[in-house]
Amino acid sequence: MSLVEPHVLSNIVVAVLLGGAVAAFAIARRSDLWSQAGRELIGRRPIAIGAIALFVSVAMLDSVAWVGGGGAAGNVLEQSRPRSVVDRMFAPDFKEKSYSAPLADIEFYGGADLSHPGSHLLGTDILGRDVLHLTLKGARVALLIGGLTSLIVIPLALLMGISAGYFGGRIDDIVFFVVSTLASIPTLLLLIALIMVLGHGPVQVCVAMGVTGWVGFCRIVRGETFKLRELDYVQAARALGVSEIGIILRHILPNLMHLVVITFVLLFSGLVLSEAILAYLGIGIDGSWGQMIDQARDELARDPIIWWNLVAASTALFALILSVNFVGDAVRDILDPKTLGEGE
Amino acid sequence: MSAAIEGSPNACEPLLRVEGLRTWFPIRAGILQRTVGNVRAVDNIDFEVAAGETLALVGESGCGKTTVGRSLLRLVEPQAGRVLFDGVDLCTLSKRELIPYRSDIQIVFQDPMASLDPRMRVRDAIAEGMRSFGIGANAAERTERVAALLERVQLDPAWMSRYPHEFSGGQRQRLCIARALAVEPRLIVCDEATSALDVSIQAQILNLLRDLQQDLGLAYLFITHDLGVVRYLADRVAVMYVGEIVEQGPTEQIFERPSHPYTQGLLSAIPSTDPGRRGISARVIGDVPSPANPPDGCRFHPRCPQAFERCGRERPPTYFAGEGSSRCFLSDPAAG
């Protein structure tokens, strides 16, 4: 038994994220630039933002879990398992024996009566689990992949890119050597190797994707820092006796923030999609949409084909990626200093 | 070299004395990145600026005048020479030791759009230097000082919580001046500070600089290619050509009796309002030679209308005459 139960940790993470979001909102409201950008973003892409908000709230609700409160009667194992808010929206024994079509009254094979006839909106999978339930739970995995990996990639790339671009010389040589070396190894091979070494859990997969994913952003940060370092306002700050760390924190980093936001959004959809590829190779994360799509390989070969599992997972994935990309494009337009009307 | 002290009757030691300053940028090539040559941006120059005085540094684009300004502040590192500020050689100090001296010399840049951080409020930008030098006990006191500085540069103190993009070019240049003044400097390097502005705005900024000099006793190193501005503002002029100072002297003397052919050429390029003098052909022909590969002998001789055989062979030394100096064989007092 680990020090903290996984579901308690998950609850803490949700609380921290909510706190962070509130703090970020409060800070952004103080800054004219960010609050103006935020208003414009909501005005331009209301539907995509709404969709993302829906995915995020489902993932959050699925991350808040506790033990007890009516499991399957008499089943001790089921009762001691923590269940999330999303789990609690479905009955504890909301299961069938095997496949059943959406809203069907009988099983797909054999035609036996269902225990919950007509109530599985998206049918059930091979183990008789409700597909709608699985799809909703997939949102948490998708956001975990995108979010946690970005949390690894962005700080790492910022640290390496800024030190290379700002200090130059030997540090630049070393960072660029690492970047070039990593970039020359085929990403998928490196990913597979890392997951073999680290293990299969969601956090391990995120770490592996983070280690392979920071290189591109690091290059962008290095180049941008190189440009910013020579700008007159950085030179003026140096003449004003501001320390190197002060210059990086007060002048370089704030002027890289728009890149961070843009990269986060673009990275995010790329990561969720690449998890689907990993799932296809059998090294994905349990409960992801990628895994549901992977399962459909066999299901599509059956006659008649079983389509609802694939359609549910793909639609959810598609909706998330599309919304994120829409928002990403809008964010890029809005945060580009040229279109915001600052600078020339 | 004899320390000729011009224009500062009250002090024997000038505020700033630059001796043999040399800033070369290495040209690297090949796999091993070996230095195959140097861009001699600033090559062995000497000059002085007295307290409360304005020295104008003029020359064509690419002659190294901007590099001189940045070398003084060690925004680029000079290779050799001494920068004596109040008797302290700034070039020998470590970066840490240099910090307390940084408040004495400030810089105002050419491009008012690039010299203010677009993501920093005006108040924070101006207070930044105060914070690093511990001027003003707390945030409230610093804000008060920012308000006073904005008033000083004729801007409304109520604008201090705005962002730079809300200001016009001339207003931004005032902000840059206020930022420099915030740390109570004694010398301000104005690097083409008015070149990017409209003529009417330029005049306002020049008047502001002049008023500040009178009130605060500031010294300016005014780097420009605009000779009209020089005549208006400068006490003395140093003319630069391909990394060297070719002529130096009081403004009046440089404009009325220039002794170096390059200075004569520069002055003849000023458009004249006198119809009788219109249409004088440019006396300096051709392009500026590359500072990576300057000509032998006098650097100006390939373009000089008065060049003779010796000019291509020998480099002329600096000849001193009265309050000025010139780097041309024609100024050799021995030759008459």
β-bridge partners, B45: B21
Q: Is residue B97 part of a domain?
A: yes
Mean pLDDT computed over A68-79 = 62
Torsion of CA B135, B139, B143, B149, to 10 degrees: 10
Q: Is residue B283 part of a domain?
A: yes
Using one digit for the tens of pLDDT, what is the confidence trace for B246-287?
999 999 999 998 989 999 888 887 776 666 655 555 567 778
CB contacts of A239 in chain B (<8 Å) are 73, 75, 102, 105-107
| Residue A335: per-residue pLDDT | 73
Mean pLDDT computed over A180-202 = 89
Q: From A183, A172, A124, A179, select the one nearest A156 (Cα to Cα).
A: A179
A25-49 as b/e: b if 16+ CB within 10 A = eeeeeeeebbeebeebbeebbeebb
Q: Is residue B9 part of a domain?
A: no
Question: A243 to chain B nearest CA, in Å?
Answer: 8
Domain that includes residue B303, residue range:
16-104+185-331
| Residue A71: per-residue pLDDT | 54
Q: From A38, A47, A25, A34, select the one nearest A324 (Cα to Cα).
A: A47
Q: Is residue B190 part of a domain?
A: yes
Q: From A111, A133, A106, select the one nearest A122 (Cα to Cα).
A: A133
Q: How far apart are CA B150 and CA B178, in angstroms?
A: 6
Q: From residue A238, give the alpha-carbon distance in Å to each of A27, B15, B56, B224, B271.
A: 27, 22, 24, 22, 39
- The fraction of chain B above a pLDDT of 90, given in percent, is 46
Mean pLDDT computed over B112-129 = 90
Domain that includes residue A278, residue range:
31-63+130-340
Question: If you average pLDDT over every residue of chain A, what do you get?
Answer: 86
Q: Is residue B141 part of a domain?
A: no
Using one digit for the tens of pLDDT, what is the confidence trace for A236-251?
999 998 999 999 999 9
Q: Is B332 on the interface with A (CB under 8 A)?
A: no
Residues in chain A: 344
Q: Is residue A77 part of a domain?
A: no
Residue with more model confidence, B32 or A291? A291
Q: Is residue B177 part of a domain?
A: no
Does the pLDDT of residue A82 top 90, yes or no?
A: no
Using one digit for the tens of pLDDT, what is the confidence trace for A274-290?
888 888 888 888 888 98
**Is A343 in Cβ contact with B75 (below 8 Å)?**
no
Q: Is B183 on the interface with A (CB under 8 A)?
A: yes
β-bridge partners, B202: none
Task: Please name the residues in contact with A120: beta carbons below 8 A apart, sequence gap of 6 or more.
Answer: A96, A100, A102, A103, A104, A114, A130, A131, A132
**Is B165 in Cβ contact with A240 (below 8 Å)?**
no
- Asked if residue A99 lies in contact with residue A108, where contact means CB atoms within 8 angstroms, the answer is yes
CB contacts of B111 in chain A (<8 Å) are 232
Q: Is residue B10 part of a domain?
A: no
Does the pLDDT of residue A31 top 80, yes or no?
A: no
How many Cβ atoms sit within 10 Å of the Cβ of residue A237?
24
Mean pLDDT computed over B57-86 = 90
| Residue A207: per-residue pLDDT | 92
Mean pLDDT computed over A192-215 = 89
How many Cβ atoms sit within 10 Å of the Cβ of residue A171?
14
Does the pLDDT of residue B1 top 50, yes or no?
A: no
Q: Is B111 on the interface with A (CB under 8 A)?
A: yes
Q: For residue B194, give the CATH number of its domain.
A: 3.40.50.300
Question: What's the pLDDT band for A155 if we cut at 50, 70, 90?
Answer: very high
Size of interface A-B (CB pairs under 8 A): 77
| Residue A278: per-residue pLDDT | 87
Q: How far apart are CA B9 and CA B251, in angstroms?
A: 17
| Residue B284: per-residue pLDDT | 74
Nearest residue in chain B measured CA to CA from A252: B117
**Total structural domains in chain A?**
1
Q: Is residue B232 part of a domain?
A: yes
| Residue A93: per-residue pLDDT | 76
Q: For residue A236, give the CATH number of its domain.
A: 1.10.3720.10
User: Rounded to an integer, what is the distance from CA B262 to the centroid of its chain?
Assistant: 18
Nearest residue in chain B measured CA to CA from A241: B99
Using one digit for the tens of pLDDT, what is the confidence trace for B169-204?
999 999 999 999 999 999 999 999 888 888 889 999
**Is A236 in Cβ contact with B115 (below 8 Å)?**
yes
Question: A45 to chain B nearest CA, in Å?
Answer: 25
Question: How high is the ipTM of this complex?
Answer: 0.85
Nearest CB to A232; choose among B106, B114, B165: B114
Q: Is B23 on the interface with A (CB under 8 A)?
A: no
- Please work out, in degrees rounded to the nearest 5, the angle formed at the alpha carbon of residue B46 by the alpha carbons of B44 and B47: 150
Range in A2-16, A307-321, B14-28, B233-247 with the lowest mean pLDDT = A2-16
Question: What's the pLDDT band for A87 if we cut at 50, 70, 90?
Answer: confident
Question: B303 to chain A nearest CA, in Å?
Answer: 34
Does the pLDDT of residue B166 top 80, yes or no?
A: yes
Highest mean pLDDT among A65-74, B134-143, B269-278: B134-143
Question: B96 to chain A nearest CA, in Å?
Answer: 9
- Joined together, the tokens standing for residue A98 give 């095997």
